[in-house]
Amino acid sequence: MKLRYLFAGVLLCGATAVASAQNLGEQELAQLKGSFVKDAHTTAVQNILLGDANIKNKTKDLSKVQEVDHFFKYRADVKGITNQLQSGRCWMFTSMNALRPTAQKKYDYSKFDFSHNYNYFWDILEKSNLYLENIIRTAGKEITDQEVVWYLQSPVGDGGVWNLFHNIGEKYGVVPKEVMPETVHSNNTGQMTGVINRRLKKAGWDIRQVYEQKTANIKKNNKKAQEELAAALKAAKMEALEDVYRILVLCLGEPPVEFTWKYKNNKGEVVSVTSTPQEFYKGLIPDNYNTQTYIMIMNDPTREYYKVYDIANYRNTIEGVNWVYLNLPNEEIKEAALKSIKANEPLYASCDVGKESDTKAGVCNPGMYDYESLLGIDLSMDKKARILTRYSGSSHAMLLMACDTDENDKPVKWQFENSWGAGSGHNGYLTFTDKWFDEFMFRIVINKKYLSEKAVEAAQQTPVTLPAWDYMW
């Protein structure tokens, strides 16, 4: 009876809070019907849409495409377009694309590229270990707890940001693409990760069962019983990781510990390089390639600028760094990005590439798709509203490598090197207006020497920790 009364109370409270809530009655339906005026324009639009499901194509403003050219005053020295195919490894491709010009120059090999397969192997294995450790850490919480639900619902995936590449690179290094070539599963990851996630969910359940059974017999300060619990949990974890490792080797191949790489350089000479992945990595990264010198800066208008934020548990290795970013106004980000490009240093960047973009033409420009005029509706929201309603957020990482400026050296347009192959966009590149930067650009990774004194000082703050399920994730 108590529950019934409590439920009734909740309903009453809800009714008080939304006193005007009501169903759609005759009056409301009459108002809706009356709002639809079938004039000549409306009839024409209806006739078009009833016979064509592609609304987006009918809204395209071609002038927004035609007003953008692909010529730039400042361009970092990058060449060669990569293709991530059917995988979510854009962050990995972009991080490596930033280092690729150095490798091309060092080895006198214009066709050089990294093995993304090699780093992907270790990324998924490390993410699996982190997931299992989080399951062990939260084993005492209810299975309906928000943190537990967050981990259980999606153990591992392809996605990530620059810090994940840094973590894997520092620990496992990198290798040329010929040393560990791509496979059908690295290029199309869905089925392999689906099986891995199924195995990890089983492990998550098994670990929680072990915890429940073992803790029932543990008395306070019973050291032996606690040690037995820790050993049982570790055994369950390692059993699962052995299976994950097996799947990865079967689908991706086994990563090398040491390798000999032979190639024909730009002069036509055959060259042989023997190295470990770690040594190869150290020979390519810039000086001070660490998270103190290279930092992520973000434009997040939902939060205070000149503050540092940390997404809890957003990493791949246990010992690695989390996703940490300094929140800055767009004008500050643009000034720093332009300095970096002028210094021939392209930038890891991520954005909401699906918004106001024609990826076939390789142009991104606000107002490109005018749904409002076609449909007679209002869709206006600022960047803050789009983020908080989950309409917009960073969806794709690319290399920011060019900027065009006006007579006052103020940016008018920018360009990405994408990782969707040369057949996508403008020969593999995407050009976007400065206004699009304001609306749909989110973050870049930059050497802090290009930041203002105010931003550098702000970067020293202790980060504000955000939950693992934060909307900026």
Q: What is the pLDDT of residues 28-45, one digit of tens each?
A: 999 999 999 999 999 999
Contact 374, 45 (CB under 8 A): yes
Q: Is 88 or 5 the better-scoring residue by pLDDT?
A: 88
Q: What is the pLDDT of residues 269-282, one digit of tens each?
A: 999 999 999 999 99
Catalytic residue chosen out of the listed positions 396, 403, 426, 447: 396
CA 448 to chain centre: 21
Q: Can you state the percent helix, strand and coil of the chain, rounding each to 5?
A: 45, 15, 40
Position 6 pLDDT exceeds 70: no
For position 5, what pLDDT does the model report?
41
- The type of residue at 465 is T
For position 17, what pLDDT does the model report?
52
For position 222, what pLDDT does the model report?
80
Active-site residue, 418 included: yes
Global pTM reads 0.92
User: What average pLDDT does the segment 202-219 reach?
Assistant: 89
For residue 43 the two structure tokens come to 């009839």
- The type of residue at 379 is L
For residue 460 the two structure tokens come to 């020293």
- DSSP for 78-95, please give it: -----B--BSS-HHHHHH
Query: In the beta sheet, which residues pair with residue 415?
Result: 402, 431
Residue with tokens 């029932």, as numbered in its chain: 216
The beta strands (E) that lie in 171-322 are given as: 259-264, 270-275, 294-298, 307-311
Residues with Cβ within 8 Å of residue 272, at least 6 apart in sequence: 260, 261, 262
Lowest mean pLDDT among 98-102, 223-227, 421-425: 223-227
Catalytic residue chosen out of the listed positions 316, 322, 418, 447: 418
Position 132 pLDDT exceeds 90: yes
Q: What is the pLDDT of residues 286-330, one digit of tens each?
A: 989 999 999 999 999 999 999 999 999 999 999 999 999 999 999
**CA 149/CA 216 separation, integer angstroms:** 23
- Could you give the angle at the alpha carbon of 31 between the alpha carbons of 27 and 32, nearest 5°? 120
User: What average pLDDT does the segment 361-375 reach?
Assistant: 95
**Of residues 462, 170, 162, the one with CA closest to residue 322:** 162
Residues with Cβ within 8 Å of residue 377, at least 6 apart in sequence: 371
Q: Is 445 helix (H, G, I), strand (E, B) or coil?
A: strand
Strands 294-298 and 323-327: parallel
Where do the domains of the chain lie, and which CATH numbers do they carry? 65-78+291-466 (3.90.70.10), 111-262 (3.90.70.10)
Average pLDDT, the chain: 93
User: What average pLDDT does the segment 32-61 reach?
Assistant: 93
**CA 70/CA 408 separation, integer angstroms:** 20
Q: Is 12 helix (H, G, I), strand (E, B) or coil?
A: helix
Q: What is the largest CA-CA distance in the chain?
A: 86
For position 21, what pLDDT does the model report?
74
Position 348 pLDDT exceeds 60: yes
Q: What is the pLDDT of residues 216-238, one digit of tens each?
A: 777 666 888 888 999 999 999 99
Position 15 pLDDT exceeds 80: no
Confidence of residue 214 (pLDDT cuts 50, 70, 90): confident
- Could you give the angle at the alpha carbon of 79 between the alpha carbons of 78 and 82, nearest 5°? 110
Q: Is 297 helix (H, G, I), strand (E, B) or coil?
A: strand
Position 205 pLDDT exceeds 80: yes
Position 166 pLDDT exceeds 90: yes
For position 322, what pLDDT does the model report?
95
- DSSP for 146-182, please give it: HHHHHHHH----S---HHHHHHHHHHH---BTTTS--
Strands 441-447 and 294-298: antiparallel
Contact 451, 459 (CB under 8 A): yes
Residues with Cβ within 8 Å of residue 454, at least 6 apart in sequence: 306
Catalytic residue chosen out of the listed positions 90, 251, 364, 403: 90
**Of residues 402, 359, 293, 316, the one with CA closest to residue 92:** 316
